[in-house]
Chain A
Amino acid sequence: MSVDDRALPVKPQIIAPGHTSATVSDHIGEIVFRKTPRWWYFGFAVSLALVMLLLMALTKLIVNGTGIWGLNNPVGWGFAIINFVWWIGIGHAGTLISAILLLLRQEWRTSINRFAEAMTLFAVACAGLYPLIHVGRPWLAYWLLPYPNTMGMWPQFRSPLVWDVFAVSTYASVSLLFWYVGLIPDLATLRDRSRSMLKQKIYGILAMGWRGSAAHWHNYETAYLLLAGLATPLVISVHTVVSFDFAVGQIPGWHATIFPPYFVAGAIFAGFAMVLTLTIPLRAIFKLQDFITTRHIENMCKVMLATGLIVAYGYLIEIFMAWYSGHWYEKFMILNRITGPYKYHWWALILCNILAVQALWFRKVRASAIGAFIVAMFVNVGMWLERFVIVVTSLHRDFLPSSWGMYSGTFWDWATFIGSIGLFLALLFLFLRFLPMISIFEMRTILPKTEEKG
């Protein structure tokens, strides 16, 4: 059977016509070896400045303790948890693109999966920071792990917070493995392309001697598919466990069975928004419109619209259940959310996450990079607000009016949050500079076979 007989649908929109194995390898590979563009230095410098801000905030935190944050009684969970959930949710789109869309044979994922996986890793790195610093004494954070110790104590395995430790660390490890395995053949391409000895050595070591042998590809593909199959339930479990942090508690507004699916959908929603936010400028800067086409932008918008509607359903069910449960405190919680002191947050959240997203019903908006970018920015903000509303409105007025209070982030809360965005961007800039941002070998596999010439 020849290759041409393979039932590979030729979809010209995934990749612009006229590309061959060689042009794809050259175009993507060269980005890494080109002279560092000036904007890169500028962008990296700005991100590093924000990383400095983060380091300053963390130093201040370690010296003075969590009192520098806006936390109080009754609001004992603040920015740290909001940002943790926000970041980890963003990460979920990467795994969805790389694993779930692979299993569903969505070929368009190929040109965005490497980049989205990198985004996942960096988002999880930022997310992981928050629980560590939130424990108050970060140098003792290893107490969360089960290990034999002189205190003779062990973690409480019935607590969702311990589940979270396992879920997030597994997620970070598996994402890293998945990303690295996907990189191996491309690292070999970079090794074979590099002109300097040093680069050859570094990429050579990272490629581990990959030589594209048919026997190796055979095991490799099996491993890649199995990893995708393992990462798929994993990604769903991670945000489910994150939602358990809330849902297992008995605070009104948290103790709801809708939480796991609603959190998972929200995570994918937020993640696709972030992928769009990053992809749209990058494909213009790197002239990657041949590989990341309008069809990619449109498809991502569709996923965003679908998950956005699930999130909207979640909001509606929360309101409905508050009424239907006949539970006094639940009802009060919802009314307080909509009309209480944080009402502007709630209404802004509805604007960002429900109303703005409806623009994506129109093909014109989906197909225009700017339109998609604007909607994605709304969602980035909206999903942060959602976590703020969930965390703060439930805590600040719970059962006893005598213990009601108000919460707002302090300078140091914001410094840590903005600093973590800097960390995310700095890691992303390094990735763009030193690794291929599109999976080269997978791009070769989706080339229309008729174009395949030397």
Chain B
Amino acid sequence: MEPRRHVGLYGLMAEFDNSEQLIRASHEARAKGYRKLDAFTPYPIEEVSEALGHHGSKLPLIVLIGGILGALGGFGLQYWVSVIEYPLNVGGRPLNSWIAFIPVTFETTILLASLSAVLGMLALNGLPKPYHPVFNAERFALASRDRYFLCIETADPGFDRQGTESFVKGLDPGGVYEVEN
């Protein structure tokens, strides 16, 4: 392998045959002090996320805020229309007939909460992102089929071309690949 600095290199990627190996590798890499690393799996594996230190998510808060805005917005719209902008006296019933406003308020709450869930999830994940260096790794296409990958990035302060490579090889992977930027 030609000696070079990290220029042009995004990280080192190890391929695993099964999720158990990946979970073990994730734990070891974290224990070794690596922080800029990510795992890629064909389906969600809670243990991997935990091993890599992904606890909690901002998403529930985002959805809660979205829902509250939806409720206030929906009720506010109906109140403003029915009481202020376009009051209609129907048989002497109160203008602010809030009971009749519940269904629409409910729907706008759900709508805004759902939109925040989806857009929030995409935003937190930095999607859409058509290009990402990990796609350069050979065999990475299998991450969406049946293979499990762990990538340690050069951006990690502990990254060292030789040291990291020997560490990764010690994890018993099916293969180790350089990931070009």
Contacts and interface: CB of A to CB of B under 8 A. Distances in A.
Interface of A: 1-4, 20-22, 25-26, 146, 152-158, 160, 162-163, 166-167, 170, 173-174, 177-178, 180-181, 185, 188-189, 191-193, 204-205, 208-223, 226-227, 230-231, 233-234, 237, 241, 244, 441-442, 444-445, 452-454
Contacts of B124: 219
Interface in B108-156: 108, 110-111, 113-115, 117-118, 120-122, 124-125, 127-132, 134-135, 140-147
Given A2-B47, A185-B144, A212-B41, 4 more contacts: A211-B40, A213-B40, A215-B52, A217-B45
B125 A215 contact: yes
Interface of B: 17-20, 23, 26, 38-45, 47-49, 52, 54, 57, 59-60, 63, 77-78, 81-82, 85-86, 88, 90, 93, 97, 100-101, 103-104, 106-108, 110-111, 113-115, 117-118, 120-122, 124-125, 127-132, 134-135, 140-147, 174
A61 B142 CA distance: 53
B63 A226 contact: yes
A301 B93 CA distance: 47
A211 B143 contact: yes
29 contacts: A2-B20, A2-B47, A3-B23, A4-B20, A157-B101, A160-B103, A170-B108, A174-B111, A174-B114, A204-B130, A210-B127, A211-B140, A212-B144, A214-B40, A214-B52, A215-B49, A215-B54, A217-B41, A220-B125, A221-B44, A223-B117, A226-B113, A230-B110, A237-B110, A441-B43, A442-B43, A444-B42, A452-B19, A454-B147
Contact of A3 (B19, B38, B100, B114): B19
Nearest to B67: A230
A157 B82 contact: yes
Contacts of A167: 103, 107
A25 B142 CA distance: 10
Contact of B90 (A158, A185, A454): A158
A114 to B, nearest CB: 14
Contacts of B132: 209, 211
A217 B114 CA distance: 18
B47 to A, nearest CB: 6
Contacts of A233: 106, 110
Contacts, number: 206
User: Which are the 9 A-B pairs with shortest beta-carbon distances?
Assistant: A208-B128, A223-B121, A21-B146, A192-B141, A209-B129, A217-B44, A158-B100, A22-B146, A214-B39
Contact of A173 (B45, B114, B141): B114
A20 B111 contact: no
Given A22-B146, A212-B144, A216-B125, A156 B107 contact: no
B109 to A, nearest CB: 9
Contact of A223 (B47, B59, B140): B59
B38 A244 contact: no
A209 B130 contact: yes
Given A214-B49, A445-B44, A452-B19, A230 B125 contact: no
A222 B108 CA distance: 21
Contacts of A226: 59-60, 63, 113, 117
Nearest to B103: A163
A26 B101 CA distance: 50
B52 A444 contact: no
Contacts of A146: 77, 81
B145 A223 contact: no
Nearest to B77: A146
Contacts of A2: 20, 23, 47
